[in-house]
A and B are shown apart, each in its own frame.
Chain A
């Protein structure tokens, strides 16, 4: 099967591999898995005081397409607002990497991962608010 240059590049030189402190208030963590293939993907964002995503990291144990999809998403979300990052669609990922049809589900996993990370970040931010109000 012929894979695109962009896909191979992300697979061979993945961007932003690593972890952020999942307990930090400004970090959102998304952990998702595709049980059909046994893949597991962690994607984290760190949101700055200006509301922009200043850092993103991922760790994916899965096939090359899953690694490339998550690598691409970390690259895309940096510098975006959380709301903007939330609009990333799996179809954008699949198109950019020219994923073959049998690997489309890897881009779905990456979209779910960024959505989960954003949800986690928002849940933390919400918990923070009442505390501040009480002080």
Chain B
């Protein structure tokens, strides 16, 4: 059963987060270990497997990027996993230059400006995904998702950089 089916939602790039939350909390109650305390061991074991799968599904679908990556997987677009390098010079050049700029940013304002730019880029790339899925353009979906991963990482690094700058001033 895929994550969407587990939560009773149609498999799609965009989902209604309120519906996701509702489905999750209802199922979580259904499989809660407290309800299985007095049940035979097989049933208890099944409930704990279901609860774990449910949590995994919810975590994956809640975040828009991880949901997009998962949805792409269902559609047959595989992304390189751990320990795999990518050969996309353009993306790597962009990522390298962005990280260099961030490394050199000396003020909170400078970091914020870079973070805002990255957020805009991510929003644009996210908005473009729909059309790529409609066209079933797998290479373009793959490129866009890899780029989104790098932009996501950039946002994380920008937060860390900002904290560093603030701390050194305090």
Which A positions have Cβ atoms within 8 angstroms of B? 31-38, 40, 42, 59, 61, 104-105, 108-109, 112
Contact = CB atoms under 8 A, between A and B. Distances in A.
Contacts of A109: 85
Contacts of A59: 96, 100
Contacts of B132: none
A38 B83 contact: no
Contact of A35 (B79, B103, B154): B79
Contacts of B150: 33, 35, 38, 40
Interface in B92-124: 92-93, 95-96, 99-100, 103
A60 to B, nearest CB: 9
A42 B81 contact: no
A112 B86 CA distance: 10
Contacts of A34: 80, 82-86
B91 to A, nearest CB: 7
Contacts of B99: 40, 61
A100 to B, nearest CB: 14
B146 A42 contact: no
Interface residues of B, number: 27
Interface in B44-84: 79-84
A30 to B, nearest CB: 10
Contacts of B85: 32-34, 108-109, 112
B152 interface: yes
A33 B95 CA distance: 9
Interface in B145-162: 146, 149-150, 152-154, 156-157
A40 B96 contact: yes
Q: A-B pairs with the 7 shortest C-beta distances?
A: A38-B153, A105-B83, A61-B99, A32-B85, A112-B85, A31-B92, A40-B95
B137 to A, nearest CB: 19
B40 interface: no
Given A40-B99, A105-B83, A109-B85, A31 B149 contact: no
A104 to B, nearest CB: 7
A40 B149 contact: no
- Among A35, A40, A105, which residue has the most Cβ atoms of chain B within 10 A? A35
Contact of B86 (A32, A42, A104): A32
Nearest to B81: A36
A34 B87 CA distance: 10
A78 to B, nearest CB: 23
A90 to B, nearest CB: 9
